[in-house]
Amino acid sequence: MPTDAVLRELLVRHLETWLPGALHRARRATLALAYAGGDAGCAEAALRVVAGHADRLRGRQLTVLVLADGTEELPARLGAVEAELPAGVAVHLVPGGPARLPVAVKAAGAAGAPLLSVVDDDTADPAVLTAAAAGKPADVLLATAVGTPARAALADAGFPLTSEVELVTADGDPARLFAFATGSDKSLEAFKEALWAGDGASGVRYRDPAGGLLDVVEVPEAGPLCDELLAELRRSGPRTVTELRRHALTATAYRSSDAVRALTGLLDAGEATREPEHGRLGGDVVISAYGAVTAP
């Protein structure tokens, strides 16, 4: 499966969570789809999700910005789907691709209301990412070239939470880096759930930031996460379960819930200890690497 198809499916799954939440939070919201090239696949799929939530759009306003080169073909591609959209949805086609996002977001009045941006480009343009941070709240999914300093660029743009994963396909397509940034733990959790809801039979695997290749399955292999959490404990000293869950969420391809499973494995294997020694593995339980010396 090509990586652009993976991006489309990931966007659809994440929209199913983001859209109801955004419409519940505010009376208006903006979805911005900005990509290099003229493929309208993501835009078509996104509009079909919006059409499926027509009942939630009563009394609400959703602006959908579609920014791409080659927009001459987009009206025909999107016309049939637009006809199914409720009156509260406004779709704007903007030629020029991701570079036009700052102008489009400003013209749409997206600042101060929920904004989800999808940027498919081989660069991490600071101006584009800063524009994507204008929402309240603001989320962005960046699909870019492997090696792009996405995490640093997103942090500089004002996003406090970032996570990234490399997509590797079996059919020889170039690998792509997907980075998600937000200000909400809940939103990042939802993105990670969408990430792992993919079809492992498609031939896509994830390369964790630590370097390991992971099959896309509902319950991913815990071994690489066990290694990473143990390494984090040795780097940073004792950490609470809450801190280690956050580390898994932001620094690895895994979900925070996977961290509990990995920590249980480390404790059962005698590679880590906990304080208190017994009871539920709650967020305030302190985990230490076995044999680590705690400073007095």
Secondary structure (DSSP) of 266-295: HHHTTSEEEESSSS---TT-EEEETTPPPP
Weakly modelled stretches of the chain, pLDDT under 70: 1, 37-40, 70-72, 199-202, 292-296
Question: Quick one: pLDDT at residue 5?
Answer: 83
Cα-flanking dihedrals φ and ψ of residue 27, to 5°?
-85, -10
Record the tokens describing residue 22, joined without a space: 């955004």
The pTM of this model reads: 0.92
- pLDDT tens for 125-143 read 999 999 999 999 999 999 9
Q: Classify strands 286-289 and 239-240 as parallel, antiparallel or unpaired.
A: antiparallel
Question: Quick one: pLDDT at residue 218?
Answer: 87
Question: Quick one: pLDDT at residue 71?
Answer: 57
What does the alpha-carbon distance between residue 126 and residue 225 come to, in Å, rounded to a whole number?
31
- The residues, ordered by sequence, that sit 6+ positions from 15 with a Cβ below 8 Å of its Cβ are 31, 46, 49, 50, 116
- The residues, ordered by sequence, that sit 6+ positions from 101 with a Cβ below 8 Å of its Cβ are 32, 34, 65, 67, 117, 119, 128, 131, 132
Question: Quick one: pLDDT at residue 295?
Answer: 45
Q: Evaluate whether 37 touches 69 at the Cβ level (below 8 Å).
A: yes
Question: Quick one: pLDDT at residue 296?
Answer: 41
Q: Evaluate whether 178 touches 164 at the Cβ level (below 8 Å).
A: yes
Record the tokens describing residue 83, joined without a space: 């006809």
For residue 200, give the DSSP letter.
Answer: G
What does the alpha-carbon distance between residue 224 and residue 166 come to, in Å, rounded to a whole number?
15
Task: Spell out the alpha helix ranges (H) of the chain.
Answer: 3-25, 41-52, 74-82, 101-107, 126-132, 150-156, 185-196, 223-236, 241-251, 256-268
Task: Tell me the angle at which helices 185-196 and 3-25 cross, rounded to the nearest 10 degrees.
Answer: 140
What 192-197 contacts at long range (C-beta under 8 Å, 24+ apart), as own/partner pairs, is 192/163, 192/249, 192/254, 192/255, 192/256, 193/17, 193/255, 194/10, 194/13, 194/14, 194/17, 195/10, 195/165, 195/253, 196/220, 196/255, 197/13
Residue in 58, 64, 61 with CA at minimum distance from that of residue 82:
64
Report the length, in residues, of the chain.
296
Q: Evaluate whether 196 touches 208 at the Cβ level (below 8 Å).
A: no
Kindly report whether the peptide bond that precedes residue 126 is cis, defined as omega within 30 degrees of 0. Answer: no
